[in-house]
Amino acid sequence: MEKGNIIFCGVGGQGILLASEITSFALMKAGFDIKKSEVHGMAQRGGSVVAHMRFGDKVYSPLIEPGTVDIALAFEMLESLRYLPYLNKNSRVIVNTQKILPSSVSTGIETYPENILEELNKKGLTVFPVDAFEIAESAGEIRAVNMALVGALSVFLPVEEKLFHDVISEHMPEKIRKVNTDAFIKGRSIIKKLQEVNNKS
């Protein structure tokens, strides 16, 4: 992949913006030009958060056109459906299987969709479900969900793993560096295992 369009989506408080920043710095270390844009108007109240990221030899605009996303990194299952118009049949979707109920569901006005992964598969997308919450918990810090997902994403990017480790070391305080690095490694490992299973089937 010499260029790419990536969407990071989820809800406020999941570390989406930090995840996009760590990914941006790693891609820059690998020599790519990066443009990024974020929307997080109601993030502090659990609202939707999205970051557009484009990389390549030279990128002129941060905004991704509908139908042109290469990889969607969904931090929450329902949020993965919100950005379907941006995907195409070649898009990969990494979905954190964690559910965070929106207020309309919590108050009983709406119901949370039951078959989100099936809906994504019906669209012909390549879907990688990841239990990032469990990965982060096993690494020792549930707030490392975002680094577990960055680890999963990293498998598909033209960046050496070492560069991600360098960026994490440079941008995270020492006291949380190890758990975030462990979560990154575990997230990366999960995707490689899923790829092996897909290749055998």
- What's the pLDDT tens digit per position in 96-127? 999 988 888 888 898 898 899 999 999 999 99
pLDDT at residue 43, as a whole number: 56
Tell me: pLDDT of 199 over 90: no
**Mean per-residue pLDDT over the chain, rounded:** 92
User: Could you give the CA distance from residue 100 to residue 75 in angstroms, rounded to a whole number?
Assistant: 10
Tell me: pLDDT of 1 over 80: no
pLDDT at residue 102, as a whole number: 81
Bridge-based pairing state of the strands 33-39 and 92-96: unpaired
**29-75: pLDDT as tens digits:** 999 999 999 876 665 666 889 999 999 999 999 999 999 999 999 99
Rounded to 5 degrees, what are φ and ψ at 95?
-120, 120
Assess contact for 48 and 72: CB atoms under 8 A.
Answer: no
The predicted model scores a pTM of: 0.92
* Helix, strand, coil shares, percent, the chain, to 5: 50, 20, 35
Tell me: pLDDT of 162 over 70: yes
Coil, helix or strand at residue 141: coil
Assess contact for 92 and 128: CB atoms under 8 A.
Answer: yes
Name the least confident of 41-50, 84-93, 94-103, 184-193. Answer: 41-50
* Sign of the Cα pseudo-torsion (157, 141, 130, 5, in order): negative
Q: What percent of the chain has pLDDT over 90?
A: 78
Going by pLDDT thresholds of 50, 70 and 90, the confidence category of residue 196 is confident
Nearest to 121 by CA among 89, 147, 164, 98: 89
